[in-house]
Structure 1
Amino acid sequence: MDYDYFYEEESEQFAFYRIPKVLFTDERFRRISTSAKVLYGLLLDRVSLSAKNRWVDEQGRVYIYYTLESIQADLLCANEKATKLLKELERYRLIERTVQGLCKPNRIYVKNFIRSRKTGLRNHENRESGVTNSVSLESRKSNGNNTDITKTEYSDTDLISSGDENRMEERKAYREYFMDALAIELMKERYPYDTDAIDEILELILDTVCTSRKTIGIAGEQRPAEVVKSRFMKLDSSHLEFVLKGLFENTTLVRNMKQYLLAALYNAPLTINNYYKSLVHHDMAEGNI
């Protein structure tokens, strides 16, 4: 069969399994086999479903069920290969299996490689950590911009205290992840006049994913923090570029820059395709294409 090409908006028509890019770029995981990385993506896909089904243990940890038979069927492999891949993921501590007995399937805990267990972020006794001021987002203008951003207001965020070494380590891990996912160095080369804005947006993203609050205000509405964090973990360099363009093309008064950027980042994965589609249609109408 001779398959057709993709045309414009069709590129986003499929459902996808998501394999974290860091598994291919981080030296810690470079030696993991491609098949094991694919399996991790399949396991990760089941985590969200398990969370919806409230498959959570007494410590609040999400677990999944994925039998050897199901893995064999999904990967079209034999029992020996499926077992080997699971052991490989265990060896790199990306999963943990617990035996339940009584002919029940094993529980599989898919590990969050961004957060080290020693951070203790999930422990209730650490919920009351100190509060520090987040990095202020200074309004600025790059050359050629007509953006009028004044009277910005910033509030303290419930983030990591300077004395909490464990949470600082977690922030460092997230920084490494987003430096790669957002291609920060490349973006600074592409937008040399906007390096300060890029740094400030990165800090805001880190403030958000490292917060210990249960809810985060987005566009005047309090949303569950885990939902916001999940959306932010999907951000890549195209979303960062999209937010930058929106920021500096905006000519209206922004009174709360932090809230403006939070909303823009949160909505970027949902709105970016329609935005660029409208640009293409505009250029076609103007005869620019």
Structure 2
Amino acid sequence: MFDYFYGAQAEQFSFYRVPKVLFTKEQFRQLSAEAKILYGIMLDKLDLSVKNKWGDDNGRVYIIYTIEQIMADMNCADQKATKLLDELEKKCGLIERRRQGLGKPNLIFVKNFITGVEGSVATQIQNREKHDSGAVNITTADYPKSRGINTNHNNTENNDINPIRSGCDGDEMDERNDYERYFRESLSIDVLLRENLGEEETILGILDLMVDICCSKRSVIRIAGDDKPLAVVKSRFMKLNAEHIRYVLKCLSENTTRVRNIRQYLLTALYNAPATIRPFYQAWVNNDMATGQF
């Protein structure tokens, strides 16, 4: 028997996040639900690769995610795992596989789902070859009846989850608009505005701040006195949801000390929100239960 959730108890768990656009945009409807879930798992693996600085000569980060690992995570057979990879690569161009050589696992480059939302998926796939270095070949694997990959097991997580890659050709306003559209949807900004009457300027200011940072041309962002790689900051921001913004608003409303640099305060709170929200609410629930207020 499973118990109910009480208060903010759900915040103590980790979750895979599957982008809403994969379910709401017509161009992704051809993907199976399992392929979308697999893509969400791949996005979750981005952080470790960012921290490990795993990328090619052009700074494009990859993950190593073998067939065996996919079979275990998705609870499926070899052919199914390979079929899901083909869906993500051939149908929508959301990933790109590259061979390393005999006995080595493929490198998987997880593509930014935002960049192709307004444009043509076919164009996205065609552009792959233009951006590839000549040092590696794109893998377009057929799936045989039985398949295994000899791997040096490295559980990685891919890099730059930035929706619009820095250095890409394109109009800067288009880049800003893409980020703003993404954050408005993923953070449920319209819902937050209805819930927090009188806090409109603060909420929209947080949105603008996140868009500004994601569109920054700097390689590092200063947070709480430390220089963080821009890719890592973007990765953190892409993991935020409406609950994190509610948490930041609560922290701001309960703060009694003078804030000299509100931009830095908000930036630090947003960056740390994924790591601090659970212990914050857990301590709150524990306190209420101990004092009989729960």
Which of 236, 239, 258 matches 1:234? 239
Query: Letter of the aligned partner of 2:97 in structure 1?
Result: R
Cα distance, 1:82 vs. partner?
Answer: 2.5
> TM-score, structure 2 length as denominator?
0.70
| 1:191 equivalenced with 2:190 (yes/no) | no
The match for 1:204 is: 209
> Aligned in 2, Cα 1:260/1:85: closer, same or farther, shift over 3 Å?
same
| Range with greater deviation from structure 2 (275-284 or 55-64) | 275-284
The match for 1:254 is: 259
The match for 2:92 is: 92
Rounded to whole Å, the distance in 1 between the matches of 2:280 and 2:105 is 46
Q: What number of residue pairs does the alignment pair up?
A: 244
> Aligned in 2, Cα 1:70/1:57: closer, same or farther, shift over 3 Å?
same
CA contact (8 A) 1:254 1:260 kept: yes
CA contact (8 A) 2:19 2:40 kept: yes
Rounded to whole Å, the distance in 2 between the matches of 1:250 and 1:211 is 28
Rounded to whole Å, the distance in 2 between the matches of 1:85 and 1:5 is 34
The match for 2:143 is: none
Kindly name which structure, 1 or 2, has the bigger radius of gyration based on alpha carbons. 1
CA contact (8 A) 2:221 2:233 kept: yes
CA contact (8 A) 1:72 1:78 kept: yes
Query: Letter of the aligned partner of 1:38 in structure 2?
Result: I
Query: Letter of the aligned partner of 1:39 in structure 2?
Result: L
> Aligned in 2, Cα 1:97/1:195: closer, same or farther, shift over 3 Å?
same
CA contact (8 A) 1:114 1:173 kept: yes
Gaps of 5+ in 2: 117-123, 132-168
Matches within 5 A, 1:54-73: 54-73=53-72
| Range with greater deviation from structure 2 (180-189 or 23-32) | 23-32
The match for 2:163 is: none
The match for 1:170 is: 175
Name the SS for the 1:193 alignment partner: coil
Rounded to whole Å, the distance in 2 between the matches of 1:286 and 1:234 is 33
Rounded to whole Å, the distance in 2 between the matches of 1:55 and 1:249 is 40
> Aligned in 2, Cα 1:27/1:179: closer, same or farther, shift over 3 Å?
farther
Name the SS for the 1:192 alignment partner: coil
> TM-score, structure 1 length as denominator?
0.71
Query: Letter of the aligned partner of 1:93 in structure 2?
Result: G
Per-residue CA deviation, residues 23-57 of structure 1 (Å, 9 max, x unaligned), is 33444434421110122133334444444555422
> Aligned in 2, Cα 1:268/1:252: closer, same or farther, shift over 3 Å?
same
Gaps of 5+ in 1: 123-163
CA contact (8 A) 2:47 2:235 kept: no
The match for 2:221 is: 216
Per-residue CA deviation, residues 67-122 of structure 1 (Å, 9 max, x unaligned), is 4444334323334322322221121110112345546443321111124689xxx9
Rounded to whole Å, the distance in 2 between the matches of 1:64 and 1:165 is 26
Name the SS for the 2:198 alignment partner: helix
Per-residue CA deviation, residues 185-213 of structure 1 (Å, 9 max, x unaligned), is 01111112111211111001111122121
Query: Letter of the aligned partner of 1:260 in structure 2?
Result: Y
> Aligned in 2, Cα 1:56/1:186: closer, same or farther, shift over 3 Å?
same
The match for 1:108 is: 108
> Aligned in 2, Cα 1:47/1:200: closer, same or farther, shift over 3 Å?
closer
CA contact (8 A) 1:114 1:170 kept: no
Identity rate, percent: 54
Cα distance, 1:15 vs. partner?
Answer: 5.0
State the structure with bigger RCO (CA 8 A, min sep 6), 1 or 2: 2
> Cα RMSD (Å) of the superposition?
3.0
